[in-house]
Amino acid sequence: MKRAPTHSYPGINLGERHASAHKATEVVTFGFWVFLMSDLVYFGLMFATYITMIDAQAGGPGPHELFDLKSVFAQTLILLTSSLTVGLAMLALKYNLPRGRIVLWFGVTLLLGISFLVLEVRDFMAMAEKGGIPQRSGFLSAFFGLVPLHGVHVAAGCLWLIVLGIQLHVKGMTDVVISRVVRLALFWHFLDLIWIGIITIVYFGGLTYG
Amino acid sequence: MTSPGTGFFGRLNWDALPVTGLIQNPNANEIVANAAAAIVLVGVVVVVGLLSWFRLWTPLWRDWLTSVDHKKIGIMYVVFAIVMLARGVLEGVVMRAQQAAGPGDGFLEAEHFAELFSTHGTIMIFFVAVPFVFGIANYVVPLMIGARDVAFPRLNQISLGLTVSSGMMLMVSLVVGRFSTGGWTAYPPYTGAAFNPGVGPDYWIWAIVVSGVGTTLTGINFAVTIYKMRAPGMTFMRLPMYCWTIICSSILIVFAMPPLGVAALLLAADRYLDFHFFTNDLGGNMMNYANLFWLFGHPEVYLLVLPAYGIYSEVFATFSAKRLYGYNSLVIATMSIAVLSFTVWLHHFFTMGQSALINAVFGIATMLIAIPTGVKVYDWMATLWRGRIRFSVPMLYGLAFLMLFVIGGLSGVILANPTVDYQVHNTLFLVAHFHNVLLPGVLFGLLAAYNYWFPKAFGFRLNEFWGRVTVALWTVGFLLTFMPLYFVGLMGMPRRSFSYDDPSFHPFMIVAIVGALVITCALFSVLIQLWVSIRDREKTRVPVGDPWDGRTLEWSIPSPPPPYNFAIIPTVTDRDDFAAAKDKGAAYPTPDAYEDIELPRNTGIGFVLCVLSGVWMFALVWWIWWLAALMTVLMILVVIVWTFDDSTELTIPAEEVRKDHEAWLARVHGEKAVDRDFETSPENRGLARPDLEVIT
Ligand code: HEM
Ligand SMILES: [Cu+2]
């Protein structure tokens, strides 16, 4: 069942130091990529829905009244930084640094993830105060169908960070755990990419065309 | 009575039971509804009773529900699909009976008729065709590519659990509350809260969402399995045609299920949270739904029919004792169809007001699919050409398919012309067309697969006589039921109508009901064949494992295969590797050494998620918020806890593998090879004497 090919997979190549984990990770990482592609279609369709509904404001508040670019900018910085910290955790893994180092970078990522979510929820509440609730118009439905969907993914990523942190602590660096770290990192970078799409299409696009 | 949605049981109350309707207003319509509910309940009682009587609970749990063996999961999928098929067919018959009752109102109420076509369509597509296709794939694919299991065996079990729990929602909707009346497509705004405040569309939504998740996971699993788990030497150009179609269909799933999920969840947001994606007011736009749904819906039909093409390819090759003709062109055609299927979705709403140019573009794109399909048909015919053909049951299905499917395909090309579509849009012509591709295409293919691989799975052949009877009944029944619909369709009879007043439709409806009754006989015939075969199984055993002179790897191992499939993972050197080995006299080699084999250990996670997701859906349908929240938390917790479990592998010692394998090899060498002419006689113990390869 397990063949002996080159064991290279898109993600992080663990290499010599992790021979058995390296091998065990190939198939699951590839599978996870396929999953991400499917998820990407999901987001793509929500983006498309948003684009078709930018003008469907039904006389309600639109992007100019509702969007707070300063907060969005802060969220962007936070999320990009968290991608950096996940990257640092991955390097710690690749070069076999003590497990504490990975946990540390996980902790920082978690904090960044949570601050991102806090800012995002604050934004939503501010929008609601100005009458920008999803029930108000097609445009707002589309906005609240897309942006919080990303938020839910971030929240899931946070939960995953916690669970995996515990597993690192309890189980140590088993092959299974290592492979999960690799996938978590992929997931986290993926969320960053989606966010870039959100600032470009939802916020900038909204302000330009809405 | 509490106001809806506020009580402990949400909006669930006694009125939800069909009996209430019967007591208040006894008539034919209520009787049919109650009979259906009663059949579900009696079915449950009988199953529970039988399991208890024969003390089967423990084996059921130990050997099946907790199994992660792809072979057992495949069998469970197929059993589930056949149970749902019985319900789907019976609903079809009731609908045909309603229209055969003649001009006037028949015996059903309009609502009830609408529920029937909605459940029928939903069931046939999502709970018959999909699980049947992937049940067969589950069984066959790892064996064909020389693997010990699929890439993610536990995920596989979870997929099954989610599919079954959502199918059960359709059963529950017979007994508690009502299913949707919005058809299998559930177009808003009709299915929105303003027009349909009841539970019907909610049943549809959650069944679709949960089974969609299950199907997506399956798609990922099979794409990765075929991509990564092939035996050494099995390059893509040595991959059996069936595996090609499954990988294409898996890719279709990965990209086509998300649109369905998006459509259903946005509809849920409209209904539950008062959003405005598809409503008539406040900027909602139902055309977005139509686009999303058909972005899924059209690839869906190819996701179903491609595996059937794959099955026929294997069947034609085996029963003509020839290599598949034009392998390369078949691969290219399969991939082209997979890609093209994403470019034509708009032909499902030519009449909904887009520009003539867009209609023309999509009409032409649609017609293009006929080209690769035509290539396939010619390749199949060339495979038969000068082959040594045996008219075994799977082959008979194949021949029926070749002839009937061409008619169905051609009527599709006719529909792809927007100007024609304007005339026959939403008439029974369409219904005739899609049944014409779904029955001879998908269903016959699956039944062929069932007959073809049954001896592999259970170690004995299915009864040949009853098999032939079944083919004849399906074919005749299909022709009688659906051909008349082309004519009434052209005469203008609309689809989905519970009554009509033009008497000239009536004779056609009579023919159609006769056909539907023949199809009912076909369904029974499937069961009789199974029963007779089990009764006579001692005479039809094929322990050696190659009853049909098969060409691909699955036939090179015992029937039924051991849990680990291959004692030694084969090294592949040829397309149709096993046929080539037999040609060279190198089949059934004795290995030099055996190794310990690691297999995934049993787990209950799929079953647990099946139950939890079932309760979750029910709670959401009935607005029992606390229960829905509880189930959400439980599902997350269960998965997290499960990821802490490390004892996931089970080792089968080399010694045990050696003993089993040597016993089987001894049997192979002791058995007399049987000529193809005696294939259906008791002498066929699964050691085929190959036909001379005919010139290709
Ligand atoms: C086996 C015998 C079958 C019979 C007697 C039958 C009969 C019917 C009837 C009477 C309708 C309603 C047509 C109308 O609304 O005017 C219908 C619709 C439909 N059938 Fe079948 N059918 C059969 C098999 C199948 C199979 C095997 C499939 C798919 C694999 C299928 C898929 C559908 C779908 C998708 C619809 C459309 C439902 C809708 O309008 O929303 N049917 N069928
Ligand atoms: Cu289509």
pLDDT digits (tens, 9 = 90+) for B207-264: 999 999 999 999 999 999 999 999 999 999 999 999 999 999 999 999 999 999 999 9
Chain B contacts of A58, Cβ < 8 Å? 276, 281-283
How many whole angstroms separate alpha carbon A149 and alpha carbon A166? 26
- Nearest Cα to Cα of residue B448 among B562, B583, B581, B310: B310
- Nearest Cα to Cα of residue B310 among B288, B291, B327, B289: B327
pLDDT at site B99: 95
> What residues contact A163, with CB distance under 8 A and at least 6 apart?
B640, B643
Cα–Cα distances (Å) from B43 to A45, A96, B39, B430, in that order, read 41, 58, 6, 34
**Residue B356, Cβ density class (10 Å: 0-12 exposed, 13-18 middle, ≥19 buried):** exposed
Atom of ligand 1 nearest to the CA of B128: 30
**CB-CB under 8 Å, B220 with A35:** yes
pLDDT at site A2: 44
Q: How confident is the model at residue B271 (pLDDT cuts 50, 70, 90)?
A: very high
pLDDT at site B309: 97
pLDDT at site A23: 79
What would the mean pLDDT of B378-382 be, rounded to a whole number?
Answer: 96
- Nearest Cα to Cα of residue B253 among B73, B413, B129: B129
Assess B255–A contact: CB distance below 8 Å, yes or no.
Answer: yes
Whether the per-residue pLDDT at B694 is higher than 70: the answer is no
How many whole angstroms separate alpha carbon B284 and alpha carbon A53? 8
What would the mean pLDDT of B604-630 be, rounded to a whole number?
Answer: 96
Contact B557, B566 (CB under 8 A): yes
pLDDT at site A189: 96
Question: Is ipTM strictly over 0.90?
Answer: yes
Assess B147–A contact: CB distance below 8 Å, yes or no.
Answer: yes
Closest C-alpha residue for ligand 1 atom 14:
B496
Q: Which of A1, A32, A169 to mutate to test the interface with B (most CBs of B within 10 A)?
A: A1
**CB-CB under 8 Å, A134 with B275:** yes
CA atoms within 13 A on the CB side of A174: 15
**Which DSSP letter does residue B193 get?**
T
Rg over CA atoms, chain B: 25
- Nearest Cα to Cα of residue B683 among B561, B579, B542, B558: B542
Rg over CA atoms, chain A: 20
Whether the per-residue pLDDT at A153 is higher than 80: the answer is yes
What would the mean pLDDT of B127-147 be, rounded to a whole number?
Answer: 97
pLDDT at site B211: 97
How many whole angstroms separate alpha carbon B434 and alpha carbon B215? 22
pLDDT at site B27: 82
Q: Which of B152, B266, B282 to mutate to test the interface with A (most CBs of A within 10 A)?
A: B282
Whether the per-residue pLDDT at B3 is higher than 70: the answer is no
What pLDDT digit, counting tens, does each position of B544-599 carry?
999 999 999 999 999 999 999 999 999 999 999 999 999 888 889 999 899 999 99
What would the mean pLDDT of B448-456 be, rounded to a whole number?
Answer: 97
For B424, other C-beta atoms within 10 Å of its C-beta total 19
Q: How confident is the model at residue A210 (pLDDT cuts 50, 70, 90)?
A: confident
Backbone angles phi, psi at B596, to 5 degrees: -60, 145
pLDDT at site B692: 63
pLDDT at site B44: 86
Looking at the complex, report in whole angstroms how far the Cα of residue B277 sits from the nearest Cα belonging to chain A.
Answer: 6
Strand partners, B427: B494
Does any ligand 1 atom lie closer than 6 A to the CB of residue B431? yes
3-state secondary structure (DSSP) of residue B7:
strand
In the block, which residue shows the tokens 């029992």?
Answer: B624
What would the mean pLDDT of B268-293 be, rounded to a whole number?
Answer: 96
Q: Number of CB pairs < 8 Å for A and B? A: 113
For B627, other C-beta atoms within 10 Å of its C-beta total 18
Q: How confident is the model at residue B2 (pLDDT cuts 50, 70, 90)?
A: very low
pLDDT at site A14: 82
- Nearest Cα to Cα of residue B253 among B211, B292, B299: B299
What pLDDT digit, counting tens, does each position of A35-56 carry?
999 999 999 999 999 999 999 9
How many whole angstroms separate alpha carbon B477 and alpha carbon A83? 61
- Nearest Cα to Cα of residue B216 among B167, B184, B251: B251
pLDDT at site A60: 92
pLDDT at site B693: 55
pLDDT at site B520: 97
Atom of ligand 1 nearest to the CA of B428: 16
Percentage of residues of chain B with pLDDT beyond 90: 86
What would the mean pLDDT of B622-649 be, rounded to a whole number?
Answer: 93
Q: How confident is the model at residue B6 (pLDDT cuts 50, 70, 90)?
A: low
What pLDDT digit, counting tens, does each position of B66-113 carry?
999 999 999 999 999 999 999 999 999 999 999 999 898 889 999 999
Does any ligand 1 atom lie closer than 6 A to the CB of residue B522? no
Residue of A nearest to B293 (CA): A45
Structure tokens given for B126? 């999502």
The residue type of A159 is L
- What average pLDDT does chain A have? 92
Q: How confident is the model at residue A1 (pLDDT cuts 50, 70, 90)?
A: very low
What pLDDT digit, counting tens, does each position of A61-99 carry?
999 999 999 999 999 999 999 999 999 999 999 888 888
Does any ligand 1 atom lie closer than 6 A to the CB of residue B438? yes
Backbone angles phi, psi at B674, to 5 degrees: -110, 135
What is the phi-psi region of residue B494: left when phi exceeds 0, alpha when psi lies from -120 to 50, beta otherwise?
A: beta
Backbone angles phi, psi at B570, to 5 degrees: -70, 155
How many whole angstroms separate alpha carbon B562 and alpha carbon A75? 55
CA of B268 to the centre of ligand 1 (A): 25
Strand partners, B600: B649
Q: How confident is the model at residue A4 (pLDDT cuts 50, 70, 90)?
A: very low
**CB-CB under 8 Å, B224 with A30:** yes
Assess B220–A contact: CB distance below 8 Å, yes or no.
Answer: yes
pLDDT at site A22: 82
How many whole angstroms separate alpha carbon B329 and alpha carbon B372? 9
Cα–Cα distances (Å) from B558 to B456, B662, B664, B666, in that order, read 8, 11, 7, 12
Assess B576–A contact: CB distance below 8 Å, yes or no.
Answer: no
In the block, which residue shows the tokens 């659906």?
Answer: B482
Does any ligand 1 atom lie closer than 6 A to the CB of residue B446? no
- What average pLDDT does chain B have? 93
Whether the per-residue pLDDT at A104 is higher than 80: the answer is yes
Does any ligand 1 atom lie closer than 6 A to the CB of residue B481? yes
Which pTM value belongs to this model?
Answer: 0.95
What would the mean pLDDT of A190-208 be, rounded to a whole number?
Answer: 96
Whether the per-residue pLDDT at A3 is higher than 50: the answer is no
pLDDT at site A9: 64
pLDDT at site B691: 73
